[in-house]
Amino acid sequence: MDKFIYLDNAATTKTSPTVVEAMLPYFSEYYGNASGIYGIGVKSREAVNRSREIIASTIGARPEEIYFTAGGTESDNWALKAAAEMFCSFRADNTEAGLLHGSNAENSAGLGHSDQKQIKNHLITTKIEHHAILHTCEYLEKAGIEVTYLNVDENGLVRLEELEQAIRPETFLISVMFANNEVGSLQPIREIGEIAKKYGILFHTDAVQAYGQLPIDVEELHIDLMSASAHKLNGPKGVGFLYIRRNLRIRSFMHGGAQERHRRAGTENVPGIVGFGQAAKEAAETMETRAAYETRLRDYLIDRVLKEIPYTRLNGHRTRRLPNNANFSFQFVEGETLLIMLDMEGICGSSGSACTSGSLDPSHVLLALGLPEDIAHGSLRLTLSAETTKEELDITVEKIKQIVERLRVMSPQYEDFRKRLPE
Ligand SMILES: *Cc1c(COP(=O)(O)O)cnc(C)c1O
């Protein structure tokens, strides 16, 4: 493949060569099942536990609070569905018998079948969550859970007053993402955690974009449940974790063997988990310098684009955003066309989230920020990495400039707009 400029690190990242190197022996040498009692099984188990310890230490958690999953999507599904099951009558076998004597009877403690007051059926999230959260919420709504989707302000930030007003006696969970994957906005997680704690409500955060990029301490931030995924921090795809605060009676999600302390059945993805541990370690070690470097480049990119391309806006907060995220809307330009033309120049960007491209609906995140549909359609997300260079950004800005100009010349809306401009 020809040389290309990769600016879609929010969609996924390159697996770091040292991560691949750490993983390799667990394919071909130490391939034992981590449940095995023989040597190579023990090797696998030890490696899994080492990764668990590394990851726990990066977020101020205990190793036994880390549960490995198959990625961010699974962690999000688990957190929401299992929390719902913990507090209300929603469950797969939604019968009285199920409530009283379900196989997870220990986890329905507090449900107190006869004590209806304990049943809680309301959760609060935001309009700008990843689809792994939003579609899970829609599923839960069909099962009778009530969901409040909080608005965000024009910068993509949750308003704390609105959150507090949304709380009801039946609210069992607040789920607010740490950092948004499209516009990079960083939520007031500490304040949200404090509100959740004050009202005795569980707090989950989808930290898939934030973990490895920003310092996170689950104790300081009062986080009860947290999702993360390895492939967003130069680790392998298909492995993630859910942090579950100790003593939380969240039931298992996958039923089967006794892996992950009976809470997540299935033979451990040992190479993936080893790779995740290595990626987490590298991310923690380089976090500060990487964030400073990426922030500098990000600001350079934002300044140039806003200064040199007219009728352009930056989406998301100017400074309170992920170090590597820039998201623009170009008026009179169709985002998909811009992306295709950038691709022909060897530049990889995105129009929003990887999951929404291919659909013609404008991004739900940009609409929640209050952008009109036509402007939301003309958006471009560029997400940098530690390997991104200023030269690459210079080429990118020049190409965007040329393409936007060309597309505008062809746009009837732009022509109308120009005609109405005072001479
Ligand atoms: C990528 C992403 C996910 C999904 O994670 P996968 O590991 O790809 O399933 C969830 N939430 C956010 C915010 C993401 O950016």
Name the β-bridge partners of 202.
Answer: 173
* H helix or E strand, kind and range, residue 296: helix 270-308
Produce one character per residue of 182-202: b if its CB has 16 or more CB atoms within 10 Å, e if not: bbbbbbbbeebbebbeeeebb
Instruction: Report yes or no: 75 and 240 within 8 Å, Cβ to Cβ.
Output: yes
Output the furthest CA–CA distance in the chain (Å, rounded). Answer: 83
User: Whose C-alpha lies nearest to ligand 1, atom 14?
Assistant: 208
Segments in 123-213 forming alpha helices (H): 131-142, 160-166, 189-199
- Locate 192 and state its tokens: 């949200």
CA 171 to ligand 1 centroid distance, Å: 25
Reported as a pLDDT band with limits 50, 70 and 90, residue 351 is: confident
Q: CA 158 to CA 187: how far, in whole Å?
A: 7
Please tell me if the CB atom of residue 208 comes closer than 6 angstroms to any atom of ligand 1: yes
Q: CA 256 to CA 266: how far, in whole Å?
A: 7
Among 88, 137, 348, 355, which one carries the catalytic annotation?
355
Per the prediction, the chain carries an average pLDDT of: 91
Q: Which pLDDT does position 109 carry in this prediction?
A: 38
Name the residue of 213, 229, 355 to mutate for ligand 1: max ligand atoms within 8 A of Cβ: 229
Reported as a single tens digit per residue, the pLDDT across 341-350 is 999 999 999 9
pTM of the predicted protein model: 0.92
- Locate 283 and state its tokens: 């991310």
Reported as a pLDDT band with limits 50, 70 and 90, residue 98 is: very low
Please tell me if the CB atom of residue 157 comes closer than 6 angstroms to any atom of ligand 1: no
Query: Is residue 117 scored above 80 in pLDDT?
Result: no
Helix/strand number for the chain, H first, E second: 15, 12
Who wins on pLDDT, 89 or 139? 139
User: Whose C-alpha lies nearest to ligand 1, atom 10?
Assistant: 72
Please tell me if the CB atom of residue 177 comes closer than 6 angstroms to any atom of ligand 1: yes
Query: Is residue 83 scored above 50 in pLDDT?
Result: yes
Reported as a pLDDT band with limits 50, 70 and 90, residue 256 is: very high
Please tell me if the CB atom of residue 229 comes closer than 6 angstroms to any atom of ligand 1: yes
Q: CA 99 to CA 112: how far, in whole Å?
A: 9
CA 73 to ligand 1 centroid distance, Å: 6
Catalytic, 355? Answer yes
Angle at which helix 270-308 crosses helix 39-58, to 10 degrees, equals 30
3-state SS string for 233-287: CCCCCCCEEEEECCCCCCCCCECCCCHHHHCECCCCCHHHHHHHHHHHHHHHHHH
Please tell me if the CB atom of residue 11 comes closer than 6 angstroms to any atom of ligand 1: no
Name the residue of 76, 126, 178, 232 to mutate for ligand 1: max ligand atoms within 8 A of Cβ: 232
Reported as a pLDDT band with limits 50, 70 and 90, residue 196 is: very high
Please tell me if the CB atom of residue 222 comes closer than 6 angstroms to any atom of ligand 1: no
Instruction: Report yes or no: 156 and 316 within 8 Å, Cβ to Cβ.
Output: yes
CB neighbours of residue 138 within 10 Å:
11
- Backbone phi, psi, residue 68, to 5°: -80, 140
- Locate 306 and state its tokens: 């806003």
